[in-house]
Structure 1
Amino acid sequence: MKIAISAVCLMGLVAVTLAPVAGADRQAVLASGERFLGGIGRIDPAGQITFVRPPGAVDDPAEADEQAPGDAAGRERKVALEELAIWGACTDSDLGSQILLVDGSLVLADSFLSWNGDGMSFYSELWGEVTLPLEMVRGVVFQPPTDSLARDQLVQRLRTATGRSDRMLLTNGDELTGVLLEADTSDTTARLPVGLRARPTGATDPVDLQGDRVTAVVLNPALASAPSARGLRTAYGFRNGDLLYASQASAQADRPASPARLTLLGGLELQADADDFFRELNFVQTFGGKTTWLSDLPAAGFRHTPYLRLDWPFHLDRSVVDGELRVGRHRYLKGLGMHTRSRLAFPLGGKFTRFAAEIAVDAKAGRQGSVIFRVYQNQQGEWSPIYQSPVVRGGEQPLPIQLDVTGAAALLLIVDYADRGDELDYADWLNPRLN
């Protein structure tokens, strides 16, 4: 698709950015675009989630005077999971050990109980004792970097690894390839195994490695079999950094005697105390429901105009510096990372009526970086502007936008310079979605 657009005067374009919403950590966003504040009180295995509105809850402070007393506050609201886009805010941890599963889930082990050729067993304060067959495990990060970008790139290295052998990534930068035979888990109070025993490729005898010399382990990618990504899938995030992709869930805050259950995409079932589950749960996001995530659609064209000479490609579901999309202390699973000045087009085929997203400068820019976001739509072969943001700077909260794209054949996203040329202009389109 040709993405060239004619020069259009934007001086009179009215920005329709909404104000950042207070209490976003407890905010639900539906596929329809509706937002409301509330906690989760029940998750039904049939695919329904029940929210509990706190007394006096006001979804939009600007409308506080218009909200009738008791308007849904303190009462339950039931929503089908397929209708929910996002609830809460996703966080992570720089603590080890982090176990990456083949379905994309990441779960923290507080200690290892056993690890050999048959599988591994670990203890989690939330999930108790968990046993995993090795074919469910993509790898383990024993010592995550404190720098978020380095941590993201290490996890991504495990996630995208190829080959037909195990790999031990050592703290000095070396890499040992071969077969991981077993781990010494005799110290059940430590997050790291005491040591690892491996047989290097081409060697007859095994070697022993001290646990604190190993940064991460990649298990044989040829043995991993990722589950199908079809159907409704839900990501559940927890305050300790666990991020679990599930096909089914069951939890009731008003029945603490009944354990909360998650069935992961890979088939593993986890159980937790219901009180602990709801206390730690801080994020829910659905995929395959009524929300279409823009980053799941094929891009039709991209162009970056360097300020000097450095080219910056765009990234799907990653920041422009190839880390997780992060703003403040939160990370975002869906989105686009772009750098000024660039433009990216997506065909819509007239199928959608609303485009929504949050826009921000990525946390990796700190308090630097400044960007102007623009959105154009193509109607009957003609491009026209439908949104221009104020200057968005590093360190600011994400700004939510909602735009009418009824009948649009295509959407064009543009990020442009604001202050100081293109210095640290790491633009994030967060959770861009269509319905």
Structure 2
Amino acid sequence: MQRTIGLAVWLGFIAVGVCDSAEMVSVTDLAGVVSTGRLQSWSLDRLQLTGESPRDFARAEIRSVHFDRPGKRLTRTMQTTPTIWLSNGDQISARAISADENFVTASWSLLGEGEPTPIPLEKVVAIVFEWPLDPQERLRLIADLETIPKGNDVVLLTNGDRFSGEFERFEAAHLQLKVGPNSLKLDRSRVRALRFNPELTTLVRPQDRRSCLTFDDGSHLTVSACELVDETLQVQSGYLGKRSLPVHHLLACHLFGERVIPLADREPTKVEFTPYLSVQWPLVRNANVRRGPLTLRGIEFVTGLGMHSRMAVTYPLKGSEQEFRATVGIDDLAGGGGSVRFGVDLDGERVWTSAELKGDTAAVKVPVIKLQGHQQLTLVVDYGEFADVLDYADWCDAVLIVDPVP
């Protein structure tokens, strides 16, 4: 079976009409100023808030919009419902009903239980049928699924066993995997997760602007267009097509493109890793260095870089960049371990160094780094007190603020 998975990030904007539900939201602009009010309207180019201090925002000046949902912020460490991972990095908290060599049929509660959704198999990276109860075990499962060697589809069982082969199909009772010349039929109730062969995944770099939606069931969805009509989000997704989603489940929207460019979208000119002993660690985009979600003290971030001590990563600057911003810390996957120092260099000169941060240290917001007049930006992670043990260093929300397009 031939599959081509495209990491096609679906680009675009949020185009929202008048909001009859008068949702309470907080809007963070490019200067980092947070404005709170009721959502009056959200169109292609502007967002309007009402309240004591009404504000009218141009879309290009917005970094994020957060909806007021007390007690509803979820991350994958808290995940309990089955999850489908898509090849662009999105995930939906949906139950996989069945699958064959062409489609995965899923039931996502936000779409309504009576509306099964077919997803092309070539756009599905993995399916988690049953999460471990322990949050740290969930993070380890994510990292394990992300680092499975190429060459086969892999089925992970709840007892820790795994089987490699070629996926054939699954339904309510059984999952079928071709192992050598034979077909192995597994009891679905014993299957924890299914990871499709990474060798058949094609990664496509994101372009232009896009909007990343976070929902209160733990789902993350990147959309090319979304219109708020009354209390319903009308979204356009390259993976799910045109869908209607209830706005009262939306937690946040992060807007990229125009003036906010994720550093993960850029190609570094140099990646220098100095091992403490002999273990080699890569630079990872939009995930921690173990390829799990970027998570600091229970908060998951939609973009950033995963690094390990000691590493220095250099990016060229094109002249349009005004500022660099990020939040740093040791990923929750370290379980409280690790110790590092973060640093930022401009043209080879150190302009900021953090205190020593450990796995139980609160996340630190990097002061705004002014970039104008400089040619290179280098991010550094150095050893701390405990050498390189569990140094899963995250640069979360690592973005460049660029000049407005004329």
Give the TM-score range, shorter chain: 0.7 to 0.9
Distance 1:90 1:355, change over 3 A: farther
How far has the Cα of 1:377 moved from its partner? 0.9
How far has the Cα of 1:86 moved from its partner? 3.3
SS of match in other structure, 1:364: helix
Measure the CA separation in 1 of the matches of 2:147 and 2:280.
Answer: 23
What does the per-residue CA deviation read over 1:32-85, in whole Å, with 9 as the maximum and x for residues that have no partner?
3333143773775636555566xxxxxxxxxxxxxxxx4x2xx354441x4433
TM-score scaled by length of structure 2: 0.75
Say which of 392, 396, 399 aligns to 1:426.
392
Distance 1:320 1:350, change over 3 A: same
Tell me what 2:32 maps to. 34
Q: Does 1:142 align with 2:120?
A: no
Q: Does 1:372 align with 2:364?
A: no
Measure the CA separation in 2 of the matches of 1:286 and 1:27.
Answer: 14
Distance 1:360 1:244, change over 3 A: same
Distance 1:260 1:197, change over 3 A: same
Q: How does 1:61-72 map to 2 (within 5 A)?
A: 70=52, 72=53
Q: Does 1:391 align with 2:389?
A: no
Measure the CA separation in 2 of the matches of 1:225 and 1:347.
Answer: 26
Return the index of the structure with the highest Cα Rg.
Answer: 1
Say which of 189, 211, 214 aligns to 1:212.
189
Tell me what 1:99 maps to. 84
Tell me what 1:272 maps to. 245
**2:31 maps to amino acid:** G
**2:44 maps to amino acid:** A
TM-score scaled by length of structure 1: 0.71
Q: Does 1:262 align with 2:238?
A: no
Measure the CA separation in 1 of the matches of 2:91 and 2:38.
Answer: 22
Q: Does 1:183 align with 2:171?
A: yes
How far has the Cα of 1:429 moved from its partner? 1.5
Q: Is the 8 A contact 1:351 1:407 kept in 2?
A: no
Q: How does 1:409-420 map to 2 (within 5 A)?
A: 409-420=375-386
Tell me what 2:303 maps to. 334
How far has the Cα of 1:423 moved from its partner? 4.3
Say which of 279, 283, 301 aligns to 1:314.
283
How far has the Cα of 1:250 moved from its partner? 1.6
In structure 1, runs of 5+ residues without a counterpart are 1-25, 54-69, 185-193
Deviates more, 1:292-301 or 1:420-429: 420-429
Distance 1:344 1:270, change over 3 A: same
How far has the Cα of 1:408 moved from its partner? 0.7
How far has the Cα of 1:422 moved from its partner? 4.1
Distance 1:292 1:229, change over 3 A: closer
How far has the Cα of 1:411 moved from its partner? 1.2
Alpha-carbon RMSD across the aligned residues, in angstroms, is 3.5
Distance 1:415 1:167, change over 3 A: closer
Distance 1:116 1:423, change over 3 A: closer
Q: Does 1:235 align with 2:212?
A: yes
- 1 or 2, which has the higher strand percentage? 2
**2:131 maps to amino acid:** P
Q: Is the 8 A contact 1:117 1:182 kept in 2?
A: no
Distance 1:389 1:27, change over 3 A: farther
Tell me what 2:11 maps to. none
Measure the CA separation in 1 of the matches of 2:317 and 2:358.
Answer: 29
Distance 1:369 1:226, change over 3 A: closer
Say which of 49, 63, 85 aligns to 2:63.
85
Say which of 131, 135, 151 aligns to 2:117.
131
Number of equivalences: 362
Q: Is the 8 A contact 2:96 2:129 kept in 1?
A: no
Q: Is the 8 A contact 2:288 2:392 kept in 1?
A: yes
SS of match in other structure, 1:34: coil
Q: Is the 8 A contact 2:154 2:162 kept in 1?
A: no
Q: Is the 8 A contact 1:149 1:323 kept in 2?
A: yes
Measure the CA separation in 2 of the matches of 1:47 and 1:180.
Answer: 46
Q: Does 1:363 align with 2:342?
A: no
Deviates more, 1:238-247 or 1:38-47: 38-47
SS of match in other structure, 1:38: strand
Identity of aligned residues (%): 23
In structure 2, runs of 5+ residues without a counterpart are 1-24, 67-72, 402-406
Measure the CA separation in 2 of the matches of 1:310 and 1:224.
Answer: 26
Tell me what 1:56 maps to. none
What does the per-residue CA deviation read over 1:230-255, in whole Å, with 9 as the maximum and x for residues that have no partner?
33221111121111111111225xx2
Say which of 352, 356, 361 aligns to 2:321.
352
**1:266 maps to amino acid:** Y
